[in-house]
Structure 1
Amino acid sequence: MKDLLVTIAKALVQNPDDVNVIEEDKDGEIVLTLSVNEQDMGKVIGRSGRIAKAIRSVMSAAAAKADVKVTVDIK
């Protein structure tokens, strides 16, 4: 899951070296915390949160296939 999120985020940003994902397991749920360069935050969130919502949708679909629950936090 973490690798998928890193790949998606790096494709969106201008500073791919600053992409960082922390994976935690909380009560059987995988929590992925994505952090990017401050200049790239708008690209990851998108207008009205559209890009962030799309990222979460892709991650949810991948999680459903793997039979796990995933939450994506963007900071």
Structure 2
Amino acid sequence: MSAPVLAKPQLRGLLSKRLRFHITAAFVLSLGCATMYKFGVAEPRKRAYQNFYKRYDAVKDFEEMYQAGVFQYGK
């Protein structure tokens, strides 16, 4: 009875083969994360700022703070 012969492992080009796969995967994942951030965080934040400044009146806000005594001045 003889022992089964194991196939030799691939050693030549193994690093480049694995790097090609991992660099491609990293690029795709980073592109996906950037897209998710843009549409999940940046765009809603941009819309929220636009909506706020559409209705914001700086003079009215100043008058309210002035009436509330927020601003202090020395003699």
Common topology (TM > 0.5)? no
Structure with greater proportional helix content: 2
- For CA contacts below 8 A with separation 6 or more, give which structure has more relative contact order: 1
Structure 2 length-normalised TM: 0.28
- TM-score, normalised on structure 1? 0.28
Larger radius of gyration: 2
